[in-house]
Amino acid sequence: MAKLKFINILILTVILVNCSTDSSSPKSGWKSFSGDKNIEHKVDSVLSLMTLEEKIGQMSQFSANWSVTGPVMPDDFQPYLEKGLVGSIFNAVTIDGIRKMQEIAVEKTRLGIPILFAYDVIHGYKTIFPMPMGEACSWNLELIKRTAQIAAEEAAADGLHWTFAPMVDISRDPRWGRVMEGAGEDPFLGSAIAKARVEGFQGGTDWRSLKETNTVLACAKHFAAYGAAESGRDYNTAELSEHTLRNVYLPPYEAAKEANVATYMASFNDMNGVPATASKWLMTDILRKEWDFRGFVVSDYTGINELVPHGVAEDDKHAAQLAVNAGVEMDMTGSTYIKYLKELVEEGKVSEKTIDNAARRILEMKFLLGLFDDPYRYLDENRSKATIQKPEFMKTARKAVSESAVLLKNNNNLLPIRKDSPKKVALIGAMMKDSINLNGEWQGRGDRNQSVSLFKGLQEVYQNSAVQFSYAQGCTLNEISSKSINEAVAVAKNSDLILVALGEDFNWSGEAACLTDIRLHAAQRELLQALKNTGKPIALVLFSGRPLDLSWENENIDAILQAWFPGTQAGRGIADVLAGDYNPSGRLVMSFPRNVGQIPVYYNQKNTGRPVNFDNPQGDYRSKYEDSPITPLYPFGYGLSYTTFSISDVKLDKTVMERGGKITITAKITNTGNVDGELVTQLYIRDLVASVTRPVKELKGFQKTALKAGESKQIQFSLTEKDLAFFDITMERKAEAGKFKLWVAQHAADNTNELEFELK
Ligand code: NOJ
């Protein structure tokens, strides 16, 4: 009976298909995402049946309250749901829960418009992959795309339509807890990864793939410059020039658009005095007009209400007016649209056209997902059971763990710990048996216990090997006692090698989890010192959500493997690396500072008028510190392997690039060691003279290549005029004629192969 209502809409839709006018036109101001006339007519047909209130309902999103990440609004949304005034719900997990709510929307409301269900599927849904910044360290775009695909497939099999990912915020500040969720400090790599993730979630760049039941809508966030928060404090102001914004921070958001991302999320922060949520310049002028984005924008969690404490809105009503007129189509949990937009329209402060187009953009996504054909098409218990945590997904996760790990130090080739060498290895540390913290932030609830601890992974991987393990915890993440130290030291003394696993609690990074001290917790440092005093060699495995200050560890520990928060298959993937079954290939995507005082420290900095002369670093009146080098401890792009590599014979096919032309760069890469491995070859340039100051280095290409021991390969990069372009003194994107330096390098501080070319 109730379903009839829904069918009625469809019938009406079909009738209206034939008589509807061209809605996607300059007159309406609406350009559809799909560009498909048939879908546009359907959207308009539904819209024509809706009251103003119902349209505003589409623009309202509520949280189902059982997995919230922020303050909960007091409004209970059930009455809105029953009146057909809810466009989207998030945090509603489980097929049953979603079905119940969808049934209300579809069968109990006047028009039966289906709800869009969203969730923070950030680095996996049930199969949890390494935290995004960790995974970015793989520099493996195929892998990154694949893990996003798997995340989408699992989420969609469990009833979800939309993920609030990828986060594409560039950040140069490891104090900021959310660095774990992005792709690091570089716009070029960040853009490539943004694209890979959007394509992974959405099943490619074609809107038609959104209808597949193994894809979800993606949401590029947080637009814009959320990662530029002053002093690394979450939600804080971002003060940055338009040049820095456009040349550094915006490229990954724009790359998401190029990959056809369906939605964006407005960021919490204010930028240069205007909160992003109220910024017409960002939401309309840049996003819609410059980039021609045709999906919709959702606010962040109560981001609209927060315009009041930001001090640009008098009250929630005023906040709603500012946000909707800026170009934010959906209010996440704030209830400002549902409460005030009708009045604002009646008072002439918001136009009906604005509401119509916002509702159209949201309705169109529901059509593209196939929800108007069948609102329950994502709710299939059998598909869910067959999909979630498939063995194949677990295998990919294990590989992703190994590929994300970055070997920071390896004195005397302490690692790998060969399975056939009869060694006694002391397993020590707060993270050795931990499984709770391994998923980092944001995973689906209830699955933390499933993650494989390093201890368990080691037992499996070293089964029947010549290696013997002993164990003592030594300390928790933040507590130590003389008893726990003594136990650990006793175990350590009776070993040939200490393998210690330390790091951060998952709550110390992620949203609203910023730090001013990014060293290991004092308890853990005390343990390390005690272990160091035994004189035994130490290999340290670090699980953390951010680059830490590892200056002491770099001085005192023999080998360091940065494992990040690796997810479900953590222990297995890391044990594979420790055993040498996988030769580490991860490269840093964020510089590791030597101390907090250096932050922000990033490779693509400006030269200044008084750069340090590295031949005389103590020279006076230079841009430097009295008490610390200016270089990072480990630079961007850095990471060791169990083998060594060389890059030689770097050649350009020409040294002058004509406008519209191309330069081809070739290089010989060689595995100069005794084991097979993978090299991430990186191409950097420097624009020597320009109308505005340019970075001392900029990444413009990279390739990850497998090389057998002793093997050489020829690789090739190309550069076009477009690759040399930047926002110049007149804020136009173009390449300026002149000289450029070029490096084919193993990391950002590798100057071995330096060449020059010129743009005519
Ligand atoms: C706030 C976070 O900033 C955002 O990234 C997230 O998607 C929402 N909460 C919803 O959980």
521 lines ligand 1 (CB under 6 A): no
Residue 126: CA count within 13 A, CB half-sphere: 18
**Vertex 420: Cα angle to 415 and 422 (nearest 5):** 85
631-668: pLDDT as tens digits: 999 999 999 999 999 999 999 999 999 999 999 999 99
Q: How far is the CA of 119 from the centre of ligand 1 (A)?
A: 9
Residue nearest to atom 10 of ligand 1 (CA): 301
Q: Return the sign of the alpha-carbon dihedral for residues 488, 491, 496, 497.
A: negative
718-752: pLDDT as tens digits: 999 999 999 999 999 999 999 999 999 999 999 99
Which atom, in ligand 1's list, is nearest to the CA of 69?
A: 11
Q: How far is the CA of 431 from the centre of ligand 1 (A)?
A: 27
**Vertex 750: Cα angle to 746 and 755 (nearest 5):** 100
164 lines ligand 1 (CB under 6 A): yes
Nearest to 636 by CA among 597, 682, 668, 700: 682
The predicted structure's pLDDT at residue 692: 98
300 lines ligand 1 (CB under 6 A): yes
296-319: pLDDT as tens digits: 999 999 999 999 999 999 999 999
Mean pLDDT of the chain: 95
Nearest to 635 by CA among 747, 493, 532: 747
Packed helices 570-579 and 391-404: angle between N→C axes, nearest 10 degrees: 50
301 lines ligand 1 (CB under 6 A): yes
221 lines ligand 1 (CB under 6 A): yes
Q: How far apart are CA 607 and CA 623, in angstroms?
A: 9
531-548: pLDDT as tens digits: 999 999 999 999 999 999
The predicted structure's pLDDT at residue 8: 53
Q: How far is the CA of 69 from the centre of ligand 1 (A)?
A: 7
Q: How far is the CA of 221 from the centre of ligand 1 (A)?
A: 9
Residue nearest to atom 11 of ligand 1 (CA): 69
The predicted structure's pLDDT at residue 618: 75
Residue whose CB lies within 8 A of the most ligand 1 atoms, among 164, 222, 234, 264, for a mutation test:
164
Question: How do strand 274-275 and strand 270-271 relate by DSSP bridges?
Answer: antiparallel
Q: In which residue are the tokens 């130090």 written?
A: 409
Q: How far apart are CA 192 and CA 378, in angstroms?
A: 30
**Phi, psi values for residue 702, rounded to 5°:** -160, 155
As given in the structure block, the two tokens for residue 414 are 């302490």
Beta-strand (E) ranges in 236-366?
A: 263-266, 270-271, 274-275, 296-298, 331-332
Nearest to 389 by CA among 74, 126, 48: 126
pLDDT for residue 11 is more than 50: no
pLDDT for residue 93 is more than 90: no
**Phi, psi values for residue 539, rounded to 5°:** -115, 130
> Residues 512, 481: contact at Cβ < 8 Å?
no
pLDDT for residue 107 is more than 50: yes
Q: How far apart are CA 63 and CA 119, in angstroms?
A: 10
The predicted structure's pLDDT at residue 7: 47
Residue nearest to atom 8 of ligand 1 (CA): 301
DSSP, collapsed to helix, strand or coil, labels residue 740 as strand
Packed helices 352-368 and 336-346: angle between N→C axes, nearest 10 degrees: 140
As given in the structure block, the two tokens for residue 700 are 């413009």
397-450: pLDDT as tens digits: 999 999 999 999 999 999 999 999 999 999 999 999 999 999 987 766 557 878
The DSSP secondary-structure symbol of 533 reads H
Q: How far apart are CA 331 and CA 183, in angstroms?
A: 27
Packed helices 141-157 and 391-404: angle between N→C axes, nearest 10 degrees: 140
**Vertex 390: Cα angle to 387 and 393 (nearest 5):** 110
723 lines ligand 1 (CB under 6 A): no
The DSSP secondary-structure symbol of 510 reads S
> Residues 123, 567: contact at Cβ < 8 Å?
yes
As given in the structure block, the two tokens for residue 95 are 């097929």
Q: How far apart are CA 299 and CA 521, in angstroms?
A: 36
pLDDT for residue 523 is more than 90: yes
The predicted structure's pLDDT at residue 77: 86
Helices then strands, counting H and E runs in the chain, come out as 22, 26
Query: Taking residues 613-617, what's their average pLDDT?
Result: 80
> Residues 198, 242: contact at Cβ < 8 Å?
no
| 574, amino acid identity | I
175-219: pLDDT as tens digits: 999 999 999 999 999 999 999 999 999 999 999 999 999 999 999
701-722: pLDDT as tens digits: 999 999 999 999 999 999 999 9
pLDDT for residue 528 is more than 50: yes
Residue nearest to atom 9 of ligand 1 (CA): 301
545-557: pLDDT as tens digits: 999 999 999 999 9
Q: How far is the CA of 281 from the centre of ligand 1 (A)?
A: 22
Report whether the peptide linkage leading into residue 161 is cis, meaning its omega lies within 30 degrees of zero: no
167-178: pLDDT as tens digits: 999 999 999 999
Alpha-carbon torsion angle 354, 355, 361, 364, nearest 10: -140
Q: Model pTM?
A: 0.97
Residue nearest to atom 4 of ligand 1 (CA): 300
Q: How far is the CA of 92 from the centre of ligand 1 (A)?
A: 14
Residue whose CB lies within 8 A of the most ligand 1 atoms, among 226, 268, 277, 300, for a mutation test:
300
pLDDT for residue 682 is more than 60: yes
Residue 427: CA count within 13 A, CB half-sphere: 21
Residue whose CB lies within 8 A of the most ligand 1 atoms, among 63, 268, 301, for a mutation test:
301
Taking residue 139's Cβ as centre, other Cβ atoms within 10 Å add up to: 27
pLDDT band of 69, cuts 50, 70, 90:
very low
| 354, amino acid identity | T
**Which positions are annotated as active-site residues?**
300
Alpha-carbon torsion angle 221, 224, 225, 231, nearest 10: -90
Q: How far apart are CA 71 and CA 86, in angstroms?
A: 19
The predicted structure's pLDDT at residue 596: 98
Alpha-carbon torsion angle 318, 320, 322, 323, nearest 10: 160
The predicted structure's pLDDT at residue 122: 96
181 lines ligand 1 (CB under 6 A): no
The predicted structure's pLDDT at residue 22: 56
pLDDT band of 70, cuts 50, 70, 90:
very low
Residue whose CB lies within 8 A of the most ligand 1 atoms, among 61, 93, 117, 120, for a mutation test:
120
Q: Could you tell me what percent of the chain has a pLDDT over 70?
A: 95
Query: Taking residues 334-360, what's their average pLDDT?
Result: 98
Q: How far apart are CA 246 and CA 726, in angstroms?
A: 8
Q: How far is the CA of 299 from the centre of ligand 1 (A)?
A: 9
The predicted structure's pLDDT at residue 68: 42
69 lines ligand 1 (CB under 6 A): yes
Query: Taking residues 607-615, what's their average pLDDT?
Result: 91
pLDDT band of 10, cuts 50, 70, 90:
low
As given in the structure block, the two tokens for residue 566 are 């690796």
DSSP track, 666-728:
EEEEEE-SSS-EEEEEEEEEEE-S-SS--BS-EEEEEEEEEE-TT-EEEEEEEEEGGGG-EE-
pLDDT for residue 74 is more than 70: no
pLDDT band of 52, cuts 50, 70, 90:
very high
As given in the structure block, the two tokens for residue 532 are 């160091």
